[in-house]
Amino acid sequence: MTISAWWRDAVIYQIYPRSWADADGDGVGDLPGITARLPHLAALGVDAVWLSPFYTSPQHDAGYDVADYRDVDPLFGTLDDFDAMTATAHDFGLRVVVDIVPNHSSDEHAWFRAALASPPGSPERARYLFRDGRGAAGDEPPNNWQSMFGGPAWTRVTEADGSPGQWYLHLFDTTQPDFDWTNDEVRDELEDVLRFWLDRGVDGFRIDVAHGLVKAEGLPDGDLDHDANADATALTPMWDQPGVHDIYRRWRKLADSYAAEGQDADRILCAEAWVLPAEALARYVREDELHQSFNFEYLMTPWLADDQRATITRSLAHAEAVGAPQTWVLSNHDVVRHATRLGYRQQPGLQRIEGIGPDDPQPDTALGLRRARAATAVMLALPGSAYLFQGEELGLPEATRLPGEVRQDPTFARTGGASKGRDGCRVPVPWEDGVPSFGFGPADAAWLPQPAEYGELAVDRQIGRPDSTLMLYTELLALRKELRLGRGTLTWLDGYPADVLAFLVTSSEGSVTVLANLGDVALALSDGADVLASSLSRHDSTFIATDETVWLRR
């Protein structure tokens, strides 16, 4: 039931709890740290936070391996800390979205331990995807699926009597066994977990691997590789199976049962689904399903005018066809930060890069930041909702020179270092220049080393500095809110060069003309142009430079 539907134009800020703010000085961020730093987000002007997992976990995949869905890992604090954080956020007018990881648990979850201790065919095993191996001795995996983190997606267990036994499926790390979603016990349990956090007052969930829960019947051989996730248009047996939609119809009913009529109380569900094309993704946000689904096609679109225009047009059309808002995103904890991505030469076609190491070609940092600011100024004008990833408001680049020995992403180890993994975007945030850990915590400790150049990008260096990235984000967010751009409609404008994105966004509160110059030459502005904001923090009304976006009062 739609009430005021706050989420339709919300800007939601992703906190990666390990890396945002560390209250106890152990080098890992925590919930009390988050509570203490919430004023930063109130000043920035976002509407909500989304927290990556802070649940009990052995941390083999930074908490995306959950051992207890109803508790906080001591690394991050306690349930009381969570309640205090939520209450403080609500006092600041910030809503709280948490992560739910329904595709797999940790191998330390009580259910998986019970499964290992029970015989093949038992109800305990039926909560996961255990299968006999292929070959006469059963010593080959049940099918050819590969783990997203490298290596086979199956691991063989040793049975209680010491004999080599069945295999279990894990689309990710060995320590992340996939649930069997054909089992009602699994459905009931995860719905109960949703209720647990809804009862604690959360405003919604980001659903991890939302397109993976249901696998094709019989688990047929497929075509799982890293790219399949990024550009598959074909149905693969582990992704985007029609059955997932039934799960989300049930979840939507559950969420709606918490939304009190007459108040702005919608509890939302947002899919992390790497699904293409846009039409297939839009199925996740049909009226009786999820509220939002990250637009990763947009994230992967290069900074080229034709590509940007095509993706934005297609995305808006497909969302509108099902009555949903678009959910724009440029960075998160799984991809190279956009300030770095855009510091490389842009080529047509979708791109997903997951890690850069010291021996790889390095980005042009200044160019990357300039384009990132321009890209953000496009995104924040677009109708719909937008997600920001912690640190992008500071213009943080990826840490591209992390040595192998500090890397913790399982991808790095599982591919023998061939894939650098995602640690580079997860480095702890700098709050203050000139102090240990750049003010991340009270001690000189950070679970990943912070590059020296993070110092000058620290929050305290940017506050009040009119040309800083932080002030640009603050200004754009305020204008976006004032003009209600997120509820607006977009019209492309004719009469501009092909490498300029030119569009008008009109809402009940006003209009803004957005011009982004992706070309090589400056574009002259017509006389009397009234510049509301510029991604270069210039208020020159005579021209737009290369890689600059301006918002003009219409």
**Residue ranges binding ligand NOJ (CB under 6 A):** 61, 64, 101, 172, 208-209, 272, 333-334
Indicate if the alpha-carbon torsion angle 30, 35, 39, 42 is positive or negative.
positive
The helix-helix angle for 31-44 and 469-482 (nearest 10°) equals 60
Q: Residue 431's CB: how many other CB atoms inside 10 A?
A: 20
- Shortest Å, Cβ 168 to ligand NOJ: 16
Q: b/e for 444-477, b at 16 or more Cβ within 10 A?
A: ebbbbebbeebbebbbebbeeeeebbbbbbbbbb
- Shortest Å, Cβ 155 to ligand NOJ: 16
Among residues 343, 431, 328, the alpha carbon closest in space to that of 388 is found at 328
Question: 195: Cβ–Cβ under 8 A, 6 or more apart, which residues?
Answer: 254
The answer to whether 12 touches 49, Cβ cutoff 8 Å, is: yes
HSE on the CB side for 415, CA within 13 Å?
23
Phi and psi at residue 125, in whole multiples of 5°?
-70, -25
Marked catalytic residue, from 61, 272, 334, 392: 272
Marked catalytic residue, from 30, 208, 392, 547: 208
C-alpha triplet 188, 191, 197: angle, nearest 5°: 140
Q: With respect to ligand NOJ, which residue has the nearer C-beta, 373 or 422?
A: 422
Q: Residue 404's CB: how many other CB atoms inside 10 A?
A: 12
Sheet holding 268-271, edge to edge: 292-293, 268-271, 204-207, 95-100, 48-51, 11-15, 385-389, 327-329
- Shortest Å, Cβ 272 to ligand NOJ: 6
Residue 272 a catalytic site member: yes
- Shortest Å, Cβ 417 to ligand NOJ: 18
Judging by beta carbons within 10 Å of its beta carbon (0-12, 13-18, 19+), is residue 319 exposed, middle or buried? Answer: buried
Beta strands in 20-138 (DSSP E): 48-51, 55-56, 68-72, 95-100, 130-131
Output helix, strand, coil percentages for the chain, rounded to the nearest 5.
Answer: 30, 15, 50
- Shortest Å, Cβ 422 to ligand NOJ: 7
Q: With respect to ligand NOJ, which residue has the nearer C-beta, 64 or 412?
A: 64
Question: What is the DSSP-derived secondary structure letter of residue 422?
Answer: S
Judging by beta carbons within 10 Å of its beta carbon (0-12, 13-18, 19+), is residue 267 exposed, middle or buried? Answer: buried
Cα separation, 65 vs 472, whole angstroms: 36
HSE on the CB side for 551, CA within 13 Å?
28
The two three-digit tokens of residue 344, written as one number: 């490389």
Q: What are the beta bridge partners of residue 386?
A: 11, 328
Among residues 98, 287, 343, the alpha carbon closest in space to that of 199 is found at 98
- Calculate the dihedral angle through the C-alpha atoms of 274, 278, 282, 284, rounding to the nearest 10 degrees: -10
The two three-digit tokens of residue 418, written as one number: 């061939």
Alpha-carbon distances of 246 from 185, 250, 324, 471, 482, rounded to whole Å:
15, 7, 18, 43, 38
Residue 359 a catalytic site member: no
Q: What are the beta bridge partners of residue 367?
A: none
Cα separation, 521 vs 530, whole angstroms: 21
Where in the sequence numbering do the catalytic residues fall? 208, 272
